Chain A
Amino acid sequence: AAGVIQSPRHLIKEKRETATLKCYPIPRHDTVYWYQQGPGQDPQFLISFYEKMQSDKGSIPDRFSAQQFSDYHSELNMSSLELGDSALYFCASSSGQGAGYNSPLHFGNGTRLTVT
């Protein structure tokens, strides 16, 4: 079965550079979530989109922005990168409203961002 696809798998950037992470949800899933997982940490919710509109916002820094496109894929844009942004970034998708409640999140394998 098709899963959530994230690209790239690994990304190395220098401080103050920008990065763009991409997420392709499972077909027919209309909700996308972004999570940040620091080393040895639990995943922290950043932002989510339902039907191409932002639905929930978590601990996403102002330097980050995201959007969901007409084909439901999503991109997380990160600017003025800092060392502390080094983490594993997960995208997840689900279908329908109340997602997560009755429609569990399906996670991608993540993008490991290293900022040097």
Chain B
Amino acid sequence: GDSVTQMEGPVTLSEEAFLTINCTYTATGYPSLFWYVQYPGEGLQLLLKATKADDKGSNKGFEATYRKETTSFHLEKGSVQVSDSAVYFCALNPRSARQLTFGSGTQLTVLP
């Protein structure tokens, strides 16, 4: 079945550090890929998405590139802020289904 494997957390960084959260997936066909962010006590918010190979999703300084050859969708940000502290979920949506499969989430804490 379809699955998403995320880098285990928690991840603790200093402000302005470089962030990478690894995400790899297993799926038949060509799924769409997403990163969602969850702030404490809130629902999941779409951060960025990519719908085909080599697409780059970007938002709020975060980027991720859909790499079909390595089945990866790693999240990166060049300079993190304290306000980026949250849980980040990688997710995929296969074209055959109307649902998302999530990774296990990565807790990010950014220290001032």
B89 to chain A: closest residue by CB: A42
Whether A100 touches B46, Cβ cut-off 8 Å, given contacts A42-B89, A109-B41, is no
Q: How many A-B residue pairs have CB under 8 A?
A: 64
Compute how far the CA of A43 lies from the CA of B46 in the bound complex, rounded to whole angstroms: 14
Within 8 Å CB of A50, what residues of B?
A: 98
Within 8 Å CB of B100, what residues of A?
A: 33, 43, 45, 100, 105
Q: Is the CB of A42 within 8 A of B103?
A: yes
Give the number of chain A interface residues (Cβ < 8 Å).
Answer: 27
Q: Which residues of B contact A (CB under 8 A)?
A: 32, 34, 36, 41-46, 49, 51, 89, 93, 95, 97-105
Over the window 54-80 of chain A, the binary record of Cβ atoms lying under 8 Å from chain B Cβ atoms (1 yes, 0 no) is 011010000000000000000000000
Within 8 Å CB of B32, what residues of A?
A: 100-102
Within 8 Å CB of B98, what residues of A?
A: 31, 33, 48, 50, 55-56, 97-100
